[in-house]
């Protein structure tokens, strides 16, 4: 079974509301409060005044653009993505498709230097660009997790960032490229209304990890879903980063934060490139609600599981599945969790 790929979007309800924007230079106590509030209300926010260097961003963007400008045959030398390497249209192992091509990399420097040989004609330049970007976005993720630790008044405010600082961390980097659509000869831009010429670039899902740090060029396409199921288009901002709560952070906070469901639509006129750092713990680490988040009034909602077990569940299901339901203590029946059809 295959999910819609070039399907035109007759979108359900969308809503024009402000995306929470958090200025990282503000006073610490207020800052940690705002971070917690945004994680609770949207599971999503934009950060400004971050400390990631402009050059670190532009160097990786150039390397990505250089790769995606290659011929299909050259790009396929870096694939197929199983799950790492170059992928085109296929997302994951269960038949999900999207109008995109991508590079998916493990953040371990040895894996990067190995992969770079099939990705770039100058593998050292490519791996340096990737490693610098990972280092900077990991720091940003740690800073945000420490703010969460402060805002939630955890006994050890570093307990969340420790999960992703470990050298064995299973964090990933993804670069997605959504080409502008090829128009029929008779295509007339004046006929275009709203999103009617867009297709699904990357279908609706939540990220399994703890936190995602996303940056894109100045082309729109990302949409997030609010808790009440409305789609909000996210105005692009190439200088700033967007932060998303992942499934693992939902569990660590015992459901106080909810992972944000999101999707990407293609733009009929411009190509979009996005880069995501997915912050994850080592494979054998346990994901279980933090002690502070469990009280007699708020008993634990999830069974304990290792990150490896959660990944295995994620890869056995479709992209859009509510995979956390499998780990809830009081499970509800959900047709969305059926194993993929053969
Ligand atoms: C979604 C978030 C990340 O992009 C990703 C994706 C992964 C993949 O593309 O290989 C998954 C998807 C993501 C969730 C469910 C599984 C795994 C495709 C898929 C169907 C790299 C990740 O970690 O999970």
Q: What is the pLDDT of residue 2?
A: 32
Q: Which CATH number does the domain housing residue 77 bear?
A: 2.60.120.330
Collapse the DSSP code of 323 into the 3-class scheme (helix H, G, I; strand E, B; otherwise coil) and give the result.
helix
Q: Which tokens in the block code for residue 178?
A: 């959504």
Q: What is the pLDDT of residue 7?
A: 38
Phi, psi of 125 (to 5 degrees): -60, -45
| Residues 185/73, Cβ–Cβ less than 8 Å | no
Provide the pLDDT confidence category of residue 40 given band limits of 50, 70 and 90. Answer: very high
Q: Which of 205, 274, 313 to probe ligand 1 with, by most ligand atoms within 8 A of CB?
A: 205
- The reply to whether 298 falls in a domain is no
- The reply to whether 49 falls in a domain is yes
Q: Is the CB of 280 under 6 A from ligand 1?
A: no
Structural domains in the chain (count): 1
- The reply to whether 66 falls in a domain is yes
Q: Which is it for strands 44-48 and 21-23: parallel, antiparallel or unpaired?
A: parallel
pTM to 2 decimals?
0.91
Q: Which of 54-58, 70-74, 178-182, 203-207 has the lowest mean pLDDT?
A: 178-182
Indicate the average pLDDT of the chain: 90
Mean pLDDT, residues 199-210 taken together: 97
- The reply to whether 60 falls in a domain is yes
- The reply to whether 165 falls in a domain is yes
Work out the angle between the directed axes of helices 28-41 and 123-151 (0-180°, nearest 10): 100
Phi, psi of 279 (to 5 degrees): -85, 120
Q: In terms of residue numbers, what domain contains 260? A: 5-293
- The reply to whether 196 falls in a domain is yes
151-192 pLDDT tens trace:
999 999 999 999 999 999 999 999 999 998 755 444 445 444
Question: Is residue 278 pLDDT above 90, yes or no?
Answer: yes
Q: Is the CB of 174 under 6 A from ligand 1?
A: yes
Task: Specify the DSSP class assigned to residue 253.
Answer: T
Provide the pLDDT confidence category of residue 340 given band limits of 50, 70 and 90. Answer: low
Residue 272 designated active-site: yes
Q: What is the pLDDT of residue 155?
A: 94
């Amino acid at each position: 079974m295959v999910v819609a790929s070039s399907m035109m979007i007759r979108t359900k309800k969308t809503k024009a509301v402000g995306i929470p924007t958090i200025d990282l230079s503000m006073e610490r106590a207020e800052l940690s409060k705002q971070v917690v509030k945004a994680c609770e209300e949207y599971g999503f926010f934009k950060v400004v005044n971050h400390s990631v260097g402009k050059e670190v961003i532009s160097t990786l963007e150039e390397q990505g653009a250089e790769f995606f400008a290659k011929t299909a045959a050259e790009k396929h030398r870096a694939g197929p993505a199983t799950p790492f390497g170059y992928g085109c249209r296929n997302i994951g192992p269960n038949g999900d498709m999207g109008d995109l091509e991508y590079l998916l990399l493990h953040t371990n420097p040895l894996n990067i230097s190995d992969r770079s040989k099939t990705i770039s004609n100058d593998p050292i330049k490519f791996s340096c660009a990737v490693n610098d970007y990972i280092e900077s976005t990991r720091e940003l993720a740690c800073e945000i997790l420490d703010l969460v630790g402060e805002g939630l008044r955890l006994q050890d405010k570093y307990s969340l960032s420790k999960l992703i600082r470990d050298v064995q961390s299973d964090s990933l980097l993804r670069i997605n490229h959504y080409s502008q659509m090829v128009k029929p000869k008779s295509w007339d831009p004046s006929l275009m209304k709203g999103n009617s010429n867009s297709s699904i670039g990357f279908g609706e899902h939540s990220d399994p990890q703890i936190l995602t740090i996303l940056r894109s060029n100045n082309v729109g396409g990302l949409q997030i879903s609010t808790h009440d199921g409305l789609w909000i288009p996210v105005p692009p901002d190439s200088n700033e980063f967007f932060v998303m709560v992942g499934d693992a952070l939902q569990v660590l906070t015992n459901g106080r934060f909810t992972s944000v469901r999101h999707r990407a639509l293609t733009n009929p006129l411009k190509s979009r490139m996005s880069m995501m750092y997915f912050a994850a713990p080592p494979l054998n680490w346990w994901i279980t609600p933090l002690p502070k988040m469990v009280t007699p009034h708020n008993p634990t909602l999830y069974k304990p599981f290792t990150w490896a077990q959660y990944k295995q569940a994620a890869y056995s299901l479709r992209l859009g599945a509510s995979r956390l339901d499998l780990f809830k203590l009081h499970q509800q029946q959900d047709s969305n969790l059926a194993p993929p059809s053969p």
